[in-house]
Amino acid sequence: MILIYLILWLFFGGLLAWLVSRWRTAWSRWVALFTVSAQLLYLLGFWLRTLRLPNLAASGTWLMEVDLAWIPQLGIHIHLGLDGLSLLMILLTDLLGMMAVVASWKEIQYKAGFFYFNLLWILTALVGVFLALDLFLFYFFWELMLLPLYFLIGIWGHENRIYAARKFFIFTQLGGLLMLVSILGLYFVHGQSTGVYTFDYLQLLGTSLAPTTGFLLMLGFFIAFAVKLPIVPLHTWLPDAHTEAPTAGSIVLAGLILKAAGYGFIRILLPLFPQAARQIAPVAMALGVVGILYAALLAFAQTDLKRLIAYTSVSHMGFVVMGIFAHNQLAMQGAIIIMLAHGISTGMLFFLAGALYERVHTRDLNRLGGLWSTVPRMGRVGLLFALASLGLPGLGNFVGEFLVLLGTYKVNAPVAVFATLGFVVATVYSLLMVQRIFSGPNTEGWKIPDFDRRELAIATLMVLAILGLGLYPDPVLRTSQQAIQSIQQAANQEFHFLVDQTGTAGNIYPGQRADKGSGL
C-alpha cells in the first residue's frame, strides 16, 4: 500500500495547500514544500537501503508492488510497481518539484493556493505514470497531467499564455487519443487470442501480434510519446509553452513531463512491441540526430532566454531517443542518465531565467549583459549549468551522452558520428548564452540583488546533484541496471517467441512479482 500512499500524499498535500491559502498565502507555500520534501527524504532513505542489497542489479524483481481490483469486469486493476527505473524517475520528480515550489515563492502571488494545488496535482500524475503497471491506469495518469499544466500556463503564464496553453493541450491530447486507441486494440487482440481481457502490463507482455497489427498498435504509442518528448517535427508546441509558462511550469515541463515520454518508450513500447520497435528504430534514431542538430541551430537564432533553453531541451532529448532505440544496455543506461541530468541542469537554467526575470523583468538577451559583477552567485551557477548542458566531463550530462554515443556506435556508427556534432554546437550556444547574460558591458545599468538564501540553497542542492551524477554515477547505473535487464529480456524473449511461433502468449517478464505490497 506504500505505493498508493506515495500518490495520495502529493495529491492531498496539494489540496491542503489550497485550503490553507484561505487564511494565509504563505502557509500554502510551506505546505507544498513540506509535502514534496518529505516524500523526497523518504525515498532517498529507501534508495540507500536498496543499494545495500546484494545482487541488486541481478534481482529482477519489483522493489515494491501492489495489485488491487478496480473494475474487475473489464480487467482493470490498480496495479502499481516500483523498480529501479521508476524509483529514479520519482526521485527526480520530487527533487524538481521542490525546486518548482521554491522558484514560485515570490513569483506567484495571485491565487497561490490553487497554483500549488495544480503543481502537486502534476507531480501526483507523474508518480502515477512511473508506477502504473495497468495500461488503463497508465493512460489515466498520463491524461491527468494535461489539465493542471494547462491551468499553470493559462492562468499564471505571460502575455500569449492562452495561445500556448491551447497549443500544448491540442498536441498532447491528440497524441494521447492515439495511445488510447492502441491500448484498446492491444486489449482486444490479447482477449481474442487468450480469452482473458485485461489491461495488466505483465499479462500483455508476450501477446501474439501479426506484424502489421503490431506495427500499427506500436505507432499509436510512438506518436503519443514522440509528441511529448518531443521528437522533431512534433516539437513545435514546446517553445511556445516554455516561453509563456511561469518558472515552475517550465521546470516541470522540461524536467519531468518530457521524461515521462522517455519512460514510456522504455517501459511500455519496447517490451510490448519489440518486433515493431526494431522496425522503426532506424527512423527513430535518424529523427533523434535531426533533433539534436536542428534544435541546436535554432537555439542560435533566439533572443528570448527561455526560448533558447527550450530549444536546447529538444536537442538534448534527441540523445535520449538514440539511446533508447539503439537496443543495447549501455545506450539505454546512458539515456536514463541523460534524462536525470537534463532534468537537473535544464530545470536549473529555467530556475535561473525565472530569477533574472523577477529582477529585471525581461528575458531579452540583447538587453542583458555585464551581470557577473552584480550577481556573482548567479553567474557561477549559470556558468556551471551551461557547462553541464554542453557536456563537460565531470558533470552528469557528459556521462549520459558518452554512454549513448558509445552504445549507438556499436549498432549504427554513422548516426553516432553525426550526433557528436551536437557537442560542438552545444558548446557554442551554451557559452554564447553565458556571455550575453553575464559578460560584456552592462548597457542597461542593471543593479539587482543576487541569489537570496532560499535560492542559493536550492542551487547548492542542484550543483551537488549534477556533480554527484557526473563524478560517481555508479549508484544510478546499479539501480537502473536491474530494470533495464528485465525489460530487455522481456523484449528479447517476446521477439524470439514471434519468430519461432512456439508456445502460447503469456507473462514472460523475468522475476515476475515480489509479494504484494512488500519490499526487498
In the Cβ-directed half-sphere of 520, how many Cα atoms lie within 13 Å?
Answer: 24
Q: What pLDDT digit, counting tens, does each position of 420-461 carry?
A: 888 888 888 888 888 888 887 888 788 888 888 999 999 999
**In this predicted structure, what is the pLDDT of residue 472?**
93
Taking 90 as the threshold, does the pLDDT of residue 412 lie above it?
no
Taking 50 as the threshold, does the pLDDT of residue 321 lie above it?
yes
CA 3 to mean position of chain CA atoms: 19
309 touches 227 (CB < 8 A): no
- 165-169, 185-189, 335-339, 437-441: range with lowest mean pLDDT: 437-441
Encode burial over 129-150: b for 16+ CB neighbours within 10 A, e otherwise: bbbbbbbbbbbbbbbbbbebbb
* Mean pLDDT for all residues in the chain: 87
SS3 145: coil
Q: What pLDDT digit, counting tens, does each position of 69-79 carry?
A: 898 888 899 99
Average pLDDT over residues 133-160: 91
**Per-residue DSSP letters for 11-60?**
HHHHHHHHHHTTT-HHHHHHHHHHHHHHHHHHHHHHHHHHHTSTTTTT--
Taking 90 as the threshold, does the pLDDT of residue 124 lie above it?
yes
**In this predicted structure, what is the pLDDT of residue 61?**
67
- 2-11, 338-347, 422-431, 491-500: range with lowest mean pLDDT: 491-500
H or E segment at 76?
strand 76-82
Taking 90 as the threshold, does the pLDDT of residue 349 lie above it?
yes
**In this predicted structure, what is the pLDDT of residue 509?**
33
Q: What percent of the chain has pLDDT over 70?
A: 92
Taking 80 as the threshold, does the pLDDT of residue 56 lie above it?
no
Look up the pTM and report it. 0.91
**In this predicted structure, what is the pLDDT of residue 504?**
36
Task: Give dist(CA 250, CA 164) in Å, integer.
Answer: 12
Task: Name the band, by pLDDT with cuts 50, 70 and 90, for residue 491.
Answer: low
Average pLDDT over residues 242-249: 90
**In this predicted structure, what is the pLDDT of residue 221?**
95
Task: Give dist(CA 472, CA 125) in Å, integer.
Answer: 30
The number of beta carbons lying within 10 Å of the beta carbon of residue 366 is 10
More confident residue, 496 or 260: 260
Q: What are residue 200's DSSP bridge partners? A: 134
User: CA triplet 364, 317, 483: central angle to 5 degrees?
Assistant: 145
- Kindly state the DSSP code that residue 107 receives in the 8-state scheme: T
Average pLDDT over residues 147-168: 90
User: CA triplet 486, 489, 491: central angle to 5 degrees?
Assistant: 110
Q: How far is residue 134 from each of residues 66, 79, 139, 406, 498, measured CA to CA in Å? A: 11, 6, 9, 34, 23
Taking 60 as the threshold, does the pLDDT of residue 517 lie above it?
no
Average pLDDT over residues 303-312: 90
More confident residue, 416 or 505: 416
Taking 70 as the threshold, does the pLDDT of residue 508 lie above it?
no
365 touches 308 (CB < 8 A): yes
Taking 50 as the threshold, does the pLDDT of residue 515 lie above it?
no
Radius of gyration of the chain (CA): 22
Task: Name the band, by pLDDT with cuts 50, 70 and 90, for residue 143.
Answer: very high
Average pLDDT over residues 32-60: 82
**In this predicted structure, what is the pLDDT of residue 303?**
86
End-to-end CA distance of the chain: give it in Å, rounded.
Answer: 15
